[in-house]
Amino acid sequence: MSIHDPEDDVTIDNSLVLREDGTYPERFENPGHPEHHDRMGDSDPKANKKAERQVVFFFVISILATIGFLIAYFAVPPGKTPESMRTSNFVLGIGLAISLLGIGIAAVHWGKALMNDHEKSEERHEQRSSDETREAAVEVLKEGAADSAIGRRTLLQGTMLGALALFPLAILVPIIGNVGGDWNVGQFKHTMWKKGTRLTTDPSGRPIKASDVTIGSVFHVIPDKLDLQAHPLDEKAKSIVLMVRLDPSELKEAPNKKSWSYNGIVAYSKICTHVGCPVALYEQQTHHLLCPCHQSTFDVADGARVVFGPAKRPLPQLPITVDDEGYLVAQSDFHEPVGPSFWERLT
Ligand code: FES
């Protein structure tokens, strides 16, 4: 029903008007609870025992998967080839997934099939509970603990504790195994670049003459004679470089890096110093190089300084020059590890 307020010339829905006692009119009937149906396990001890065995089964699955993970961690190391890394990651991932899934399914099934199924209603109340309610909540928790019958179900208790106690090992063992190690940082200190290695186009491997590089052009570059049979794929990934030619007058070079470019041609590692995506989007007008993953932006004209985004350090620069035939060559390897900067902090 609606009423019209002539003073403000508005119509108000009367069903929403607050009563003087602070309550709203009843707008619909309280439908109450649907009819309660007991679960089989509530009346049949056999069904109850069966549910318990199912929970135990999933905890045991979790235990076996964690043990499998630990064995695989030592028995299937990542190796050096992409295939062996994939295999190792796959086996470890499956172990972790089944281990967690086992605990999850066991916990849910325990709650659904074995815990108290009594229906309870609670009226809404103000946010802070009264002291009595809080005490009641503690009682309910205690009741829940008693309902789970953890004291009586010793097998279930043992397997649950076993699953929960073992699972952290799947995280701790790999971490402890690397404490004091270099977390493979050493691998990123050296790439295939060395003094005299020609810069070639990726993927054709064609050497690049400095005279062929026009101002504004961009080259994706790999070391000359990159033999992927002799060198695994990750060696190529580490060595890949982005080369750009700018007007030499636009280059801002640190005093100790003035000789690292050639006629405005500069070369930087293509691996983003944030988390390692390949930076590849070059904006010729601003000289900005953008990483598509999280938008870190590097100024190629200013030592690949970070001008935006989450990366914390510039892209490592590859010092270059030309050989006797005018081909671009590296002066040396990179002078710092390529890739994400957390490696730098660890060394
Ligand atoms: S990996 Fe480049 S911005 Fe995150």
Q: Which pLDDT tens digit goes with each residue over 21-53? A: 766 666 667 777 788 888 888 888 899 999 999
Which atom of ligand 1 is closest in space to residue 311's alpha carbon? 3
**What's the confidence (pLDDT) of residue 81?**
74
Same domain, 311 and 170: no
**What's the confidence (pLDDT) of residue 176?**
77
Same domain, 175 and 243: no
Same domain, 215 and 173: no
Report whether pLDDT(205) > 80: yes
The residue whose CB lies within 8 Å of the most ligand 1 atoms, and thus the one to mutate among 274, 289, 313, 338, is 274
Is 277's C-beta closer than 6 angstroms to any atom of ligand 1?
yes
Same domain, 174 and 294: no
User: Out of 184-193, 246-255, 273-282, 322-331, which region has the weakest mean confidence (pLDDT)?
Assistant: 184-193
User: Out of 98-107, 149-158, 321-330, which region has the weakest mean confidence (pLDDT)?
Assistant: 149-158
- The CA 313 to ligand 1 mean position distance, Å, reads 11
Is 270's C-beta closer than 6 angstroms to any atom of ligand 1?
no
**Rounded average pLDDT over 168-179:** 81
Is 315's C-beta closer than 6 angstroms to any atom of ligand 1?
no
Same domain, 205 and 316: yes
For the ranges 123-137, 191-205, 212-226, 300-314, the maximum mean pLDDT occurs at 300-314
Which structural domain range is residue 222 located in? 188-346
Is 185's C-beta closer than 6 angstroms to any atom of ligand 1?
no
Q: Evaluate whether residue 233 is within a structural domain.
A: yes
Is 150's C-beta closer than 6 angstroms to any atom of ligand 1?
no
Same domain, 102 and 141: yes
Same domain, 61 and 145: yes
- The CA 230 to ligand 1 mean position distance, Å, reads 30
- The CA 272 to ligand 1 mean position distance, Å, reads 6
Is 294's C-beta closer than 6 angstroms to any atom of ligand 1?
yes
Q: Evaluate whether residue 260 is within a structural domain.
A: yes
Is 291's C-beta closer than 6 angstroms to any atom of ligand 1?
yes
Which atom of ligand 1 is closest in space to residue 296's alpha carbon? 3
- The CA 164 to ligand 1 mean position distance, Å, reads 36
- The CA 312 to ligand 1 mean position distance, Å, reads 10
The residue whose CB lies within 8 Å of the most ligand 1 atoms, and thus the one to mutate among 288, 291, 343, is 291
Phi, psi of 71 (to 5 degrees): -65, -45
Report whether pLDDT(266) > 90: yes
Q: Evaluate whether residue 10 is within a structural domain.
A: no
Over pLDDT 90: what percentage of the chain?
51
The CATH number linked to 226 is: 2.102.10.10
**What's the confidence (pLDDT) of residue 324?**
92
Same domain, 117 and 214: no
**Rounded average pLDDT over 91-107:** 96
Same domain, 169 and 205: no
Region of 180 please: left (phi>0), alpha (psi -120 to 50) or beta. Answer: left
Report whether pLDDT(167) > 50: yes
Is 296's C-beta closer than 6 angstroms to any atom of ligand 1?
yes
Same domain, 50 and 157: yes
**What's the confidence (pLDDT) of residue 77?**
84
Which atom of ligand 1 is closest in space to residue 276's alpha carbon? 1
Phi, psi of 335 (to 5 degrees): -95, 5
Q: Evaluate whether residue 23 is within a structural domain.
A: no
The domain total for the chain is 2
**What's the chain's average pLDDT?**
85
Q: Evaluate whether residue 17 is within a structural domain.
A: no
The residue contributing the CA closest to ligand 1 atom 4 is 294
Is 271's C-beta closer than 6 angstroms to any atom of ligand 1?
no
**What's the confidence (pLDDT) of residue 337?**
86
**pTM for this structure?**
0.54
Output the six-digit token pair for 140: 């309910």
Which atom of ligand 1 is closest in space to residue 275's alpha carbon? 1
Where does residue 252 rank: exposed (0-12), middle (13-18), buried (19+ CB within 10 A)? Answer: exposed
Which atom of ligand 1 is closest in space to residue 294's alpha carbon? 3
Same domain, 159 and 222: no
**What's the confidence (pLDDT) of residue 95?**
95
Where does residue 163 rank: exposed (0-12), middle (13-18), buried (19+ CB within 10 A)? Answer: buried
What is each CA distance from 196 to 232, 325, 330, 337, in whole angstroms? 22, 12, 5, 20
Same domain, 193 and 102: no
Instruction: Name the residue among 263, 252, 177, 182 with its Cα closest to residue 217.
Output: 263
- The CA 47 to ligand 1 mean position distance, Å, reads 54
Report whether pLDDT(289) > 70: yes
Report whether pLDDT(347) > 50: no
Q: Evaluate whether residue 62 is within a structural domain.
A: yes
